[in-house]
Amino acid sequence: MSGNFSRSSAPKEMTFADQREWMVRHQLEAWGIADGRVLDAMRRVPRELFVPGEQQEDAYYDGALPIAEGQTISQPYVVATMTEALRLGGREKVLEIGTGSGYQTAVLSLLAAQVFTVERIALLARQAQETLARFGADNVRFRVGDGSLGWPEHAPYDAILVTCAAPAVPQPLVQQLADGGRLIVPVGPRGYQDLVRVRRHGAATTEERLSPVAFVPLIGEHGW
């Protein structure tokens, strides 16, 4: 899960707390992230908690980092961009597709009333659940399965965020949006995609392309 952005990283001689503040000021605010709630959430989530032990000194690197099973934890700017695009007010029910390390999940947990997250890889789901428990997120529910199918039992959702790339917008996710709901999903071929925001208006939907990104593929019936 990554984006086509590479700038400067937080100085490693700083404490993690100071690196996190540096990240917010120099990697997020300086590059256009303006939602105060999103910035506050990014300040509160310790990224070092969600990266493998051997990668912790690089926790505030301005880019994606590898985690288990060939997956990645997204660049902070990409996490903030996708989260800001959801336009969360605090009362929403959110579906996340691709739990991964749980870092994006943690950010969402501070900004929404409920978060439902689906991960295809059982090992990652278990590790993320343990990490999010240490973080203190108590409004997150987990499922192991095909994320391209969503989680219909708890639909509709006010917002859906997909942290892996699909060849086309997965229609089961569109169908699980509430009226007025927003879906953020990377769409395109393997290697590079466009970040797309889908809005539902009754039975109709609109699509808006936001920015170029590069994510790992969404594996499943409505993915790759």
Output the domain CATH number for residue 26: 3.40.50.150
CA distances from 111 to 121, 124, 188, 209, 217 (A): 25, 23, 28, 23, 26
**Domain limits for position 143:** 16-213
Nearest alpha carbon to residue 126 among 59, 53, 42, 68? 68
- Residues 56 and 48 sit within 8 Å (Cβ to Cβ): yes
User: Mean of the per-residue pLDDT values for the chain?
Assistant: 94
| Average pLDDT of the residues in 117-127 | 97
Residue 132 lies in a domain: yes
Q: What is the pLDDT of residue 166?
A: 97
Q: DSSP for the chain, please give it.
A: -B-S-------TTS-HHHHHHHIIIIIIGGGT---HHHHHHHHHS-GGGGS-GGGGGGTT-SS-EE-GGG-EEPPHHHHHHHHHHH---SS-EEEEE--TTSHHHHHHHTTSSEEEEEES-HHHHHHHHHHHHHHT--SEEEEES-GGG--GGG--EEEEEE-SBBSS--HHHHHTEEEEEEEEEEESSTT-EEEEEEEEETTEEEEEEEEEEB--B--STT--
Residue 111 lies in a domain: yes
Number of folded domains in the chain?
1
Residue 35 lies in a domain: yes
Task: State the burial class of residue 202 (Cβ atoms within 10 Å of its Cβ: 0-12, 13-18, 19+).
Answer: exposed
| Average pLDDT of the residues in 119-144 | 98
- Residues 142 and 119 sit within 8 Å (Cβ to Cβ): yes
7: confidence class by pLDDT, cuts 50, 70, 90: low
- Residues 58 and 65 sit within 8 Å (Cβ to Cβ): yes
Which of the residue ranges 4-13, 108-117, 143-152, 177-186 would you say has the lowest mean pLDDT? 4-13
- Rounded Cα–Cα distance for residues 168 and 187 (Å): 6
| Average pLDDT of the residues in 9-38 | 95
Cis peptide before 156 (omega within 30 of 0): yes
Annotated catalytic, 74?
Answer: yes
Residue 172 lies in a domain: yes
- Rounded Cα–Cα distance for residues 138 and 126 (Å): 15
Backbone angles phi and psi of 200, in degrees to 5: -105, 130
Q: In the predicted model, is pLDDT for residue 117 greater than 60? A: yes
- ∠ at Cα 116 (100, 154), nearest 5°? 145
Residue 7 lies in a domain: no
Q: In the predicted model, is pLDDT for residue 4 greater than 80? A: no
Q: Which two tokens stand for residue 167?
A: 């060849």
pLDDT in tens, 168-217: 999 999 999 999 999 999 999 998 999 999 999 999 999 999 999 999 99
| Catalytic-labelled residue, pool 2, 74, 109, 148 | 74
Residue 11 lies in a domain: no
Residue 178 lies in a domain: yes
Q: What is the pLDDT of residue 5?
A: 45
Q: In the predicted model, is pLDDT for residue 158 greater than 70? A: yes
pLDDT in tens, 66-106: 999 989 999 999 999 999 999 999 999 999 999 999 999 99
Residue 192 lies in a domain: yes
